[in-house]
Amino acid sequence: MEEKASPPPQGCSKPHLEKLTLGITRILESSPGVTEVTIIEKPPAERHMISSWEQKNNCVMPEDVKNFYLMTNGFHMTWSVKLDEHIIPLGSMAINSISKLTQLTQSSMYSLPNAPTLADLEDDTHEASDDQPEKPHFDSRSVIFELDSCNGNGKVCLVYKSGKPALAEDTEIWFLDRALYWHFLTDTFTAYYRLLITHLGLPQWQYAFTSYGISPQAKALLGLFDGSSPSVDLNNPRGRAAIQSRWF
- Tell me: the pLDDT tens digits for 47-61? 999 999 999 999 999
pLDDT band at residue 227 using 50, 70 and 90 as cut-offs? very low
Choose the weakest-confidence range: 25-34, 81-90, 113-122, 219-228. 113-122
H, E, C per residue of 163-178: CCCECHHHEEEEEECC
Tell me the per-residue pLDDT of 33-47, one tens digit each, with 9 for 90 and over. 889 999 988 999 999
pLDDT score of 83 more than 90: no
Domain 14-107+134-246 belongs to what architecture? Answer: 3-Layer(aba) Sandwich (3.40)
What are phi and psi for residue 198, nearest 5 degrees? -60, -40
Amino acid at 46: E
CB atoms near residue 63 (< 10 Å): 15
* pLDDT band at residue 29 using 50, 70 and 90 as cut-offs: confident
**What are the pLDDT digits (tens) for 155-206?**
999 999 988 888 889 999 999 999 999 999 999 999 999 999 988 898 899 9
Angstrom distance (rounded) from CA 13 to CA 163: 43
Task: List, in order, residues 6 or more apart from 63 with CB less than 8 Å away.
Answer: 168
- Whether 145 shows a pLDDT value over 60: the answer reads yes
d(CA 95, CA 74): 5
What secondary structure letter does DSSP report for 44?
A: P
Q: How far apart are CA 47 and CA 52, in angstroms?
A: 9
Q: What is the pTM of this model?
A: 0.79
Residue 109's contacts (CB-CB under 8 Å, 6 or more residues apart) are: 118, 180
pLDDT the model gives residue 95: 97
Helices (H), the chain: 15-21, 24-29, 47-57, 63-71, 106-109, 189-198, 216-222
**Residues 200, 91 contacting (CB under 8 angstroms):** yes
Q: Which of 65-69, 142-146, 180-184, 231-235 has the lowest mean pLDDT?
A: 231-235
Domain ranges of the chain: 14-107+134-246
